[in-house]
Structure 1
Amino acid sequence: MRDQIDHIETFIVTIPRDTPYLGPLRPGESVNERGYLVRSSNGTIYPTQDRSVLVKVTTRDGAVGWGETYGLTAPRVIGELVDDLILPLVRGRDPFDVSAIWHDLYDTLRVRGYTGGFWLDALAAVDIALWDICGKLAGQPIRKLLGGERRSSIPAYVSGLPRATLDERVELAAQFVAKGYDAIKFAAAVDPDGIEAELAALRDALGPQVKLMIDFHWMFGRGEAAALIRRLEPYGLYFAEAPVKPEDVEGLAHVARAVVTPIAGGEEWRSVHDALPRLRAGALAIVQPEMGHKGITQFLRIAQLAGAHHVKTIPHATIGVGIFQAASLQASAAIEELPMHEYQHSILDRNAALLDGELKCEAGAYVLPEGPGLGVAPSAALWAYAEKIQG
């Protein structure tokens, strides 16, 4: 008789940081009583600390798998969804039925209108944990179960220059280039009034060979975004990310048709159903699946759909302790066309120290975690930052 899913526990992990994500507070920004701030440039809420939700799945025979999802806002919601809905539905299931389990869980709430948001974030964490169990039971890294290992390391692009002044941001970028990185992305939300000046300064300092990208964080309308990107194109852009509101599919397609620069997006998607209309509309040249929102099952399906539309995959990486980062690298190693992967240096370099197993990026590339399953797991040091919420 095959092993069966028996129990699921959830934990909030909160790691203090000196400077909030995207850099110091700008004029008019403040931290509220719950520890959140709203960035004035893009109207998006962020916690002042690094925060995510860990999920621990245990089988009847004692196998353990780890998953992780977003915990940036209202993280206790994930614990309640796992405890009240997911666990009773999956207890007794074979962990090797991981893809079928994702689809069964998706079906349970699709007619209720919950085809995204917290519900699919919770599914993503459980999906990653089940794939971790599959790899451990098979004695193989997850990438070996996903159709084969296509690469032994993954090129990385530096994401974010969280410094207060333009000179400091340019200097930080130059330091990374000196370490062997040849691709840099900066966030327009850090200084929305100085986007062109920042790109010009980076190009002047780093030279023509370094790939430069901009994350617009959904800040603009379609006409404004297209006009801005056209104005920036003489400086050379490898891609422009998230130029318009995520629900504006037609606007995204309009921008893609109006500019030469490849348009990238997709971190906020939860499933292949989000990807399909945007790919059909020709709105993107690059998809950026975020493992923390999708899980391995949907991450792969989005990448496969993108490949069928001759669109490249460059995965997104966001705030977490490294569990869903490891899952992203495992899946990325099996994707056919993947030029590079995002490297959130201000997060990974610190938080990955709380994991057992190797998760690191150096000299311009990620080193793939070794060992069965994800290749990483929470270390004893992590539990100083964790609070159990369910299970």
Structure 2
Amino acid sequence: MNKSVDAIVQVETYIISIPREVPYLGPLKDGERVNERGYLIRKGNRTIYPSTDMTLLIKVTGESGHVGWGECYGIVAPEATKAIIDDILGPVIIGRDPGDAVVIHEDLYDLMRVRGFFGGYYVDALAGVDIALWDLAGKNLGVSISTLLGGRRHSTIPAYVSGLPRATLQERCDLAVEWVAKGYRGIKFAAVVSDEGIVQEMLALREAVGPDIDLMVDLHWKFESSEAIRLIRRLEASNLYFAEAPCQPEDLEGQTKVARNIGVPLALGEEWRTVYEYRPRLEARCMGVIQPEIGHTGITEFIQIGRMAQTFHINTIPHASISVGIFMAASLVTSSALQRVPYHEYQHSVFDRNLAFTKGGMGCARGHYTVPTGLGLGVEPADALFDFVVAEGRSSAR
């Protein structure tokens, strides 16, 4: 058998739910509560979040016994993504060669495109399978995924601190100062929890961290385009680095209007999954920074999106969501093959704690990520992670 051929014999999925003391984005506000399924709705952006670190892990085994690991976006209703893989994608790829990861991704996308499933849970499921196939292919060939993608440009990637999960503005400013003291040069705050006002938070943070730190804001799709322009112009006076997601994701015209009427880069893209969603926005020049989330895109789409952005001379600053570390490793390894990556998001309240559940050469310290160097992803789940596998049929808050 050729070294690159290792027929897939099994595809398995695991819902992971790791408890946390403080919910994602910080303490609950008045009127917010955790419901019987373990979810909460943030009033500031009307978006639902889990009260735990919840995700979907994918294991693909080849006939050689080698294993590829993937992970996809499983923050809410992970049973949906799991069912898509268990019932549709997994059985279809049995017998395929993981070295054909790009071809398999295209074939799986074709399965449901005529039914309108070119986004959402279906493409999230593709992302997890795709990451696992690339991981298995790299292991079979004895190389890192970055080598399969054409080569590694970066052994480290600057990290910006994402979120200041404290209850008051003063506490958030104090936390920002702590991160600066640790060597981090970029910090993003979340408008959804800026109860004292977004401009006031920006002014307070700038005064706290000084003039040389890159400050960013996530506006969480809260504004109509003209409202967003007025707000961002006020934030520019405090030397804003970028403004993220001011308008609703489907509002291409609004995004373009904002981008053309502000003096800082507009950052978009965490919710888009394919080159087909990115292309019209790149053509419209409605952003200066793209933020692909590899838990939505997988490696195949992520690298195509990043290279397409390079042709428009646009920077890639990847998004990072709740992850046990597998798709974070995929994001870092894939980003290492791109040219224009000034930062990668660092979800410190998730990443640092969940490093205990992975093994491999990945970390974040003194303002930089260390890109894994091992075979495939260079990272695998630790045995301790499987203590947090959720039994099927969960029916109550975790």
The TM-score by the shorter chain falls in which range? over 0.9
Q: 2:199 aligns with which of 187, 192, 196?
A: 196
Partners of 1:17 and 1:199 in 2: CA distance: 28
State the Cα distance separating 1:376 from its structure 2 match.
0.9
Matches within 5 A, 1:51-66: 51-66=54-69
Q: Does 1:232 align with 2:243?
A: no
Q: Distance in 2 between matches of 1:139 and 1:116?
A: 33
Distance of 1:298 and 1:192 partners within structure 2: 37
- Amino acid corresponding to residue 3 of structure 1 in structure 2: D
Of residues 17, 20, 33, the one that matches 2:20 is 17
Partner SS for 2:322: coil
**Matches of 2:226 and 2:183, distance apart in 1:** 37
**Letter of the structure 1 residue corresponding to residue 106 of structure 2:** H
User: CA–CA distance in 2 between the matches of 1:183 and 1:74?
Assistant: 32
- Tell me the residue number matched to 2:142: 139
Aligned residue among 26, 50, 53 for 1:50: 53
Say whether residues 1:205 and 2:198 are aligned partners.
no
> Counterpart of 2:46 in 1: which secondary structure?
coil
- Alignment partner for residue 156 of structure 1, among 133, 154, 159? 159
Quick one: distance in 1 between partners of 2:219 and 2:84? 32
Aligned equivalent of 1:3, options 1, 6, 18: 6
**For the aligned residues, what is the CA RMSD?**
1.1
**What is the rounded CA distance, in whole Å, between the counterparts of 1:3 and 1:204 in structure 2?**
57
Which residue type is aligned with residue 358 of structure 2? Answer: L
Superposition pairs of residues 211-222 of structure 1, within 5 angstroms: 211-222=214-225
2:361 and 2:374 in contact (8 A); partners too: no
1:335-362 per-position Cα deviation (integer Å, ceiling 9, x unaligned): 0111111100000000111111132100
Quote the residue 2:326 is aligned against.
323
Check conservation: 1:10, 1:389, Cα contact below 8 A: no
Runs of 4+ in 1 over 6 A off after TM superposition: none
The whole-number CA distance in structure 1 between the counterparts of 2:34 and 2:91 is 38
- Assess, with a 3 A threshold, how the Cα gap between structure 1 residues 50 and 8 changes in structure 2: closer, same or farther: same
Which one of the candidate residues 268, 271, 274 is aligned to 1:271? 274
Q: What is the percent sequence identity of the aligned residues? A: 55
Please tell me whether the aligned partners of residues 196 and 232 of structure 1 are also in contact (alpha carbons under 8 angstroms): yes
SS where residue 31 of structure 1 aligns? coil
- The one of 287, 292, 297 aligned to 1:284: 287
Q: Specify every segment of 5 or more residues in structure 1 that has no aligned partner in the other structure, as ranges.
A: none
Q: Which moved more, 1:156-165 or 1:351-360?
A: 351-360
- State the alpha-carbon separation in 2 of the partners of residues 281 and 192 from structure 1: 34
Question: Following TM superposition, by how much is the alpha carbon of 1:274 offset from its aligned partner in structure 2, in angstroms?
Answer: 0.8
Match for 1:349 among 346, 349, 352? 352
Matched to 1:50, the amino acid is D
Q: Secondary structure at the match of 1:54?
A: strand
Aligned to 1:367: 370
Residues in 2 aligned to 1:81 and 1:211: alpha-carbon distance in whole angstroms: 40
Matched, 1:111 2:114: yes
Aligned residue for 1:297?
300
Letter in 1 for 2:136: I
Separation in 2, partners of 1:280, 1:58: 40
Tell me the matched-pair count: 390
Kept in 1, the 8 Å contact 2:6–2:140? The answer is no
Question: Residues of 2 paired with 1:265 and 1:91: CA distance?
Answer: 36
> Take 1:87 and 1:361, find their aligned partners in 2: how far apart are those partners?
33
Q: Does 1:337 align with 2:305?
A: no
**Counterpart code for 1:295:** G
Secondary structure of residue in 1 paired with 2:188: strand
User: Equivalences for 1:79-94 in 2 at 5 Å?
Assistant: 79-94=82-97
Using the TM superposition, give the Cα deviation of residue 387 of structure 1 relative to its aligned residue in structure 2, in angstroms: 3.1
- Bigger drift between 184-193 and 237-246 goes to 184-193
Q: What is the alpha-carbon distance in structure 2 between the residues aligned to residue 80 and residue 366 of structure 1?
A: 33
Alignment match, 2:245: 242
Instruction: Tell me how far apart the structure 1 counterparts of residues 151 and 310 of structure 2 sit (CA, whole Å).
Output: 16
Shift of 1:88: 2.2
**Alignment check: 8 A CA contact 1:142 1:374 kept:** yes
Q: Is the 8 A contact 1:10 1:55 kept in 2?
A: yes
Deviation string 1:260-304 (CA, Å, 9 cap, x unpaired) is 111001010111111011111111000000010010000001101
Quick one: structure 1 residues 308 and 192, their matched pair in 2 at CA, closer, same or farther if it must change by over 3 Å?
farther
Task: Tell me how far 1:192 sits from its aligned partner.
Answer: 4.8
CA distance in 1, matches of 2:6, 2:235: 56
CA contact (8 A) 2:290 2:316 kept: yes
Other-structure match for 1:125: 128
Post-superposition shift, 1:229?
Answer: 0.5
Q: CA deviation at 1:193?
A: 4.7
Whether 1:383 aligns to 2:350 is: no
Partner of 2:101: 98
Cα deviations by residue, 1:137-168 (Å, 9 ceiling, x for unpaired): 11111111111110111111111000001111
Q: Is the 8 A contact 1:300 1:331 kept in 2?
A: yes
SS of the equivalent of 2:237 reads: helix
Tell me what 2:396 maps to. Answer: none
**Amino acid paired to 1:240:** A
1:184 aligns with 2:173: no
